Amino acid sequence: MTINEISKLAGVSTATVSYVINNKSGCVSEEVRARVLKIIEENGYVPNKIARSLREKRSKTIGVLAEDITHFQTPGIIAGINSYLEQIDIHMILNNLSLTQKAGEHTGNVLQHKKEINDAIDILMEARVDGIIYIGWQDRDVGNLVKPLNVPLVYAYCFSEVDGRSWISYDNESSMEEILDKVFSLKHRKIAFVSGGDELCRPAEMRFNIYQKKLAAEGIPLRREYIKHGDWSFNAGRQFYRELVALEDPPTVILSLNDHMAGGMIKESMDTDRRILNEISVVGFNGFEFASFLSPTLATVSLPLEQIGYEAAKQLLTEINNKNCEHKQEFLKCQFVNGSSLKINPFA
The single-letter code of the amino acid at 189 is R
pLDDT tens across the length of the chain (348 residues): 678 888 888 888 888 877 777 777 667 888 888 888 888 877 776 666 555 554 556 679 999 999 999 999 999 999 999 999 999 989 999 999 999 888 776 777 888 889 999 999 999 999 999 999 999 998 888 988 999 999 999 999 999 988 889 999 999 999 999 999 999 999 999 999 999 865 667 888 999 999 999 999 999 999 999 999 988 999 999 999 999 999 999 999 999 999 999 999 999 999 999 999 999 999 999 999 999 999 999 999 999 999 999 999 999 999 999 989 999 999 999 999 999 999 999 999
The values of phi and psi at residue 167, to 5°, are: -150, 150
- Going edge to edge, which strands form the sheet with 153-156? 91-96, 61-66, 132-135, 153-156, 166-170, 329-332
Distance CA 317, CA 315 (A): 5
The values of phi and psi at residue 301, to 5°, are: -125, 125
Helix (H, G, I), strand (E, B) or coil at 221: coil
The partner residues of 153 in beta bridges, in order of sequence, read: 132
**How many Cβ atoms are within 10 Å of 266's Cβ, its own excluded?**
26
